[in-house]
Amino acid sequence: MSSRIGRKSWTAVKISNAGQLSLTAVDGRLRVDGILDFTTAAQMTPMLGECITGLPNSFTVDLSELSQFNSAVLVFMLDCLRMAAKANKQCHFSGATPALGNMLKMASLGDLIKAA
């Protein structure tokens, strides 16, 4: 795993794990790129709090660049919400693919995300 975190300036924070999944916090958004499955989610979730710390009080998680995902994306989204609440921040989601939108609807979580 590699991590580039500049504590003095939170304009860009990128955390990645061997190129499979990366989290990039930039300009008040958290962009998620790559493969989000139970393996990558377990590796990245512990570092999620560090990304959220540097984001504004209301931020958006952009999921539009996920190339592959399974139901671990639901756990990841709930972790984002939980960690944001713990930091007294509001977390919003954008960039749902049709497949992710269907998964959220099936889990009765369709109201968590806005279309990109």
DSSP string for residues in 19-70: TTEEEEEETTEEEEEEEESHHHHHHHHHHHHHHHHTS-SEEEEEEEEEEEE-
Superfamily for the 2-114 domain: STAS domain (3.30.750.24)
State whether the Cα torsion 106-51-63-72 is positive or negative. Answer: negative
Banded model confidence at residue 92, pLDDT cuts 50, 70, 90 = very high
pLDDT in tens, 32-87: 999 999 998 888 888 888 889 889 999 999 999 999 999 999 999 999 999 999 99
Question: Which of 1-10, 46-55, 84-93 is predicted most confidently?
Answer: 84-93
pTM of the model: 0.80
Task: Quote the CA–CA distance of 69 and 54 in Å, as a whole number.
Answer: 25
Encoded amino acid at 42, one letter:
A
17 vs 60, more confident = 60
Instruction: Name residue, tokens 């279309």.
Output: 115
